[in-house]
Amino acid sequence: MKNKIIATTVLSLLLLVSCSEDFLDTKSTSSVDQGQVFENTTTAMMAVNGLHRLMYKPGSSAAQCGYGTFMLWMEMLGEDLVYTKGNAQWQSQAKWSLHRNTTSSHCKFLYKMFYEIIANANMILTNIDNVEGSQAEKDYIKGQALTYRAFAHFCAVQLWAERYYAGKTNSQEGIVLRLDNSLDPTPRSTVEEVYAAINEDLDQAISLLGGISIERSTKTHIDVNVAKGIKARVLLTQGQWLSAAEMAKSVVDNSGATLSAHTYDFRQGRMCDASNTEWIWAKIGQPTLETGTLTNFYSFISNTNVSYNKNTPRAIYNLLYDKISATDVRKQLWLPNAPSMTKTSIAYPPSGNIFKWMSQKFIVDYPDNTSPAYSAALYTADLAYMRLPEMMLIMAEGYARAGQDAKAVEVLYPLAKIRDANYVKSTNTGSALIDEIMIQRRIELWGEGFRFLDLKRLNMDLDRGPAPREGYNQGGSANNWKTGKTPTNLDPLASNYNMYDDQGLGEENRFRAANSIEWQFVIPKSELDYNPLCTQNPI
């Protein structure tokens, strides 16, 4: 019996690639057969470009936007990105219900996307050694395919399995591990087996990509530093603190990426431009391909005109916001007093909603909605998959958790200082230093797809903060808690979770214990139907 999730459109997706003669071309068209793709290394690069394309290939309905869906979902499941108003998109994700639905098309989309990446990477790995071309070009192609396969398995195992327990056997069920293009029914490997395969792929990719002199033509392509960056994430998730720090250090030292004092200076194109010197790996926006208004990342996090974010602007967890220094440039990314601000001071589209603490981090279109230059037609932009600050924060966290506080302090300082001119080198040690690093991580990487994964890897409860005390504004439509209004009688100790408008997420979703079965996504029914050896997670 065939595994339909794997089999569906493997060939057609592989061929969403370019017929250019340029070895490093990244354009995407279609319609060449498999024989043409694996004729030589020039055409085989088209298959690699097909992998890049899968990272932003939309699904059949709204909120299905490739890897951007994964990033958004990981934030919606956490506490730091606050959902302001109930509507049709992302509410079920934020309520921790959709990933527990075996027939959800959204859950199936995410599962299918990762296994399509794996299947197409396997197709490349099966064929690349026999194509015509130089060994360096073969190694470049093979290294990228191995990295993609490891990356997809890594993303999947973090969702559909229990967390990795450092120092234990990790014999708990992981995911279906696909290391070739066999469509035979296959049982789930253990979590330990999956991580062993991920690390083996990444080690081989790092060796191949590190041994060639080919320079990538775009940040979309994977080089040795991207592979090492993913390896650093894996090691951090496994609790191999010192190894994670050292791997991230190699990226920091050798990637060529540099911190920029201007990352958050302006609104037009903020966090949407791959030319930023901090970006290491990225999707390059393709306006001619990404034409759907609700099938791209920015429709759900940037204040563009036609988007769900227009109706439900994302906000920051107010108790996290309070921890940001007043002199930190990142403080301007969220607007605690948005309802009382002049409208030209806020990047939001005409008729868009305005709420306290709303985000201004991701801005695609012209920020002044009264300007004739506001086109309201930009739906997509570049999207960062990996940035230098993340690698620095992995270094700092890894060193700190490994007990090397002095190194952690030295790594944290340049990042914190460039964000806050008044920052003074930390004197914290032990758990206090770790706490400081994690706060910096939450602020810097807000909205970039890490929070749920951080909570899960660290075995932490989800706690969206205290409800208002008796006698204070309880939220909802009372006491001016409406779009464009400044709420009154707020509890200074309370979280802004579930305070907005119609309180769509409910009090029952304020807390999830770390040991709850809800931290595992359920396997889509379609996988179980076509792969009877695959068992379901506890429901």
Residue 12 — pLDDT band, cuts 50, 70, 90? very low
pLDDT at 478 over 90: no
List pLDDT tens digits, range 378-389: 778 999 999 999
Answer yes or no: is 489 within a domain.
Answer: no
Distance CA 348, CA 499 (A): 21
- From 464, 485, 504, the end of a domain falls on 464
pLDDT attached to residue 293 = 76
Q: Which residues of 365-402 are buried (b: 16+ CB within 10 A; e: fewer)?
A: bbbbbeeeebeeebbbbbbbbbbbbbbbbbbbbbbbbb
Range of the structural domain that residue 157 is part of? 4-80+96-214+519-530
Distance CA 325, CA 347 (A): 22
Average pLDDT over residues 471-495: 90
Distance CA 123, CA 125 (A): 6
pLDDT at 325 over 70: yes
Answer yes or no: is 364 within a domain.
Answer: no
Regarding whether 523 and 410 lie in a shared domain, the answer is: no
Token digits for 248? 């991230």
Average pLDDT over residues 226-250: 99
pLDDT attached to residue 306 = 62
**Residue spans of alpha helices (H) in 304-404:** 308-311, 318-321, 388-401
- From 445, 464, 483, the end of a domain falls on 464
Answer yes or no: is 240 within a domain.
Answer: no
pLDDT at 3 over 50: no
Regarding whether 526 and 392 lie in a shared domain, the answer is: no
pLDDT attached to residue 373 = 64
Answer yes or no: is 317 within a domain.
Answer: no
Regarding whether 525 and 419 lie in a shared domain, the answer is: no
**226 compared with 375, residue with greater pLDDT:** 226
Regarding whether 524 and 454 lie in a shared domain, the answer is: no
List pLDDT tens digits, range 488-518: 999 999 999 999 887 889 999 999 999 999 9
**26 compared with 177, residue with greater pLDDT:** 177
Answer yes or no: is 179 within a domain.
Answer: yes
pLDDT attached to residue 33 = 62
Average pLDDT over residues 315-320: 98
pLDDT at 15 over 70: no
Number of domains in the chain: 2
Regarding whether 454 and 525 lie in a shared domain, the answer is: no
- pTM of this structure: 0.94
Answer yes or no: is 203 within a domain.
Answer: yes
Regarding whether 149 and 15 lie in a shared domain, the answer is: yes
List pLDDT tens digits, range 183-199: 899 999 999 999 999 99
Cα 384 from chain centroid (whole Å): 9
Average pLDDT over residues 364-368: 69
Answer yes or no: is 324 within a domain.
Answer: no
Regarding whether 524 and 452 lie in a shared domain, the answer is: no
Per mean pLDDT, which range of 72-86, 455-469, 477-491 is the poorest? 477-491
Average pLDDT over residues 232-259: 98
Regarding whether 64 and 145 lie in a shared domain, the answer is: yes
CATH code where residue 114 lies: 1.25.40.390
pLDDT attached to residue 28 = 30
pLDDT attached to residue 183 = 87
Average pLDDT over residues 283-291: 86
Residue 368 — pLDDT band, cuts 50, 70, 90? low
Cα 88 from chain centroid (whole Å): 22
Contact of 468 with 474, CB cutoff 8 Å: yes
